Amino acid sequence: MILADKIINLRKKNAWSQEELAEKLGVSRQSISKYEGAQSIPDMDKILKLSKIFGVTTDYLIKDEIEDPEFLDEEYEESKTRKVSMEMANEYLNLKEISAKNFALGVSLCIISPIFLVISSEAYEKELLSVPENVVDGVSLTVLFLFIIAAVGIFVREGMILKKYEFIESEAIDTDYGVDGMARDRMEKFHDSFVKKNIIGILLIVASVLPLSVGMIFSAEDMVIAIAMGFLLALIGLGVNFLLRTNIPMSALKALLEEEDFTRKNKELKKKIEPFITAYWILMTAIYLGYSLVTNKWDKSWIIWPVAGVSYVLYYLILNFFLENNFKK
């Protein structure tokens, strides 16, 4: 194992970012990046410093034939990690690419599910449909629930397929030689597509308000507004689809590299946050179903979900702030 891979593995085992290691070593983050990318080699003074920082012998660092760490402190206990082979890493990334498309479809189905309900309900109110109200409501709700059932089916199926690799995103991992290099190479190749599709997704979501704005400017008719709302939801669904199809594979690459949201510290923090997130969405579901069943205003109650989505961002940030501060203590 070469020095570059040893630095990467030791940094990960200590749950340090490149910036944190750079600060300890007294160099720039770019220097650490070059060390880990085998683009440059640290001088002997830096090797000695790295030896002390990681608690390993200099022989282990500079001799490629020494594969297992030789620790300076005999009482040093290596943190428990799960091994990830090259074969496992490739299968995980390939599954995540496929899952991203399916998961994005499921989320889009949830977003567009109220469209038929909103438009058909308004059409009935304007007497554009010559069928009984119970038929309109029944068909509209059936379409809504079919979309949601299909989405839930997708989520469950993808979760089962990826279950064996859940540990990569939630536990400390130790990747085999070459895995980090492979992941960085795939990340570099994926970068341009990632940026383009993110821009398209964001623009679609921003543009989603245009149909509603135009409808309100040129007509005050409720039917026009209902159709505009349909276009709004469709554009949001399409925009979110673009974002998920690119961000899920990128997150998988970062999980393998244990970077950003997937450092070991953040993985521990995530375990503390997850119960609160689950409780939040259970509460939102209860509010939606309770309000809808009591008032029978299914054509209006769907607005709970966009509000819940926006509120969730604020809820998560506050939760993350308090738990992170508590985690540091």
Rounded-to-10 torsion of CA 180, 182, 186, 188? 60
Between strands 82-84 and 173-175, the pairing is parallel
Tens of pLDDT, residue by residue over 138-156, are 898 899 899 999 999 999 9
Amino acid residing at 295: T
Tokens of 213: 């704005």
Sorted by where each starts, the structural domains of the chain and their CATH numbers stand as 3-62 (1.10.260.40), 84-262 (no CATH), 264-329 (no CATH)
* DSSP labels, 238-300: HHHHHHHHHHHHHHHHHHHHT-GGGSHHHHHHHHHHHHHHHHHHHHHHHHHHHHHHHH--HHH
Q: Give the CA radius of gyration of the chain.
A: 26
Is residue 96 within 8 A of residue 162, CB to CB? The reply is yes
Distance CA 202, CA 309 (A): 16
| Closest CA relative to residue 150, chosen from 115, 112, 180 | 112
Output 152 or 292, whichever has higher pLDDT.
Answer: 152
Tens of pLDDT, residue by residue over 202-244, are 999 999 989 888 887 877 688 888 888 899 999 999 999 999 9
Q: What percent of the chain has pLDDT over 70?
A: 95
| Strand extents, DSSP E, 19-155 | 82-84
Distance CA 53, CA 49 (A): 6
Give the model's pLDDT for residue 74: 45
Distance CA 186, CA 287 (A): 43
| Closest CA relative to residue 175, chosen from 41, 12, 4 | 12
Is residue 154 within 8 A of residue 106, CB to CB? The reply is yes
Tens of pLDDT, residue by residue over 54-108, are 888 888 888 888 887 776 654 444 445 788 899 999 999 999 999 999 999 999 9
Is the predicted pLDDT of residue 35 greater than 60, yes or no?
yes
Q: How far is CA 174 from CA 11, 85, 270, 298, 306, in A?
A: 11, 9, 19, 50, 39
Distance CA 262, CA 284 (A): 27
- Predicted TM-score (pTM) above 0.75: no
Is residue 42 within 8 A of residue 28, CB to CB? The reply is no
Is the predicted pLDDT of residue 167 greater than 70, yes or no?
yes
| Closest CA relative to residue 55, chosen from 24, 80, 76 | 76
Distance CA 116, CA 138 (A): 12
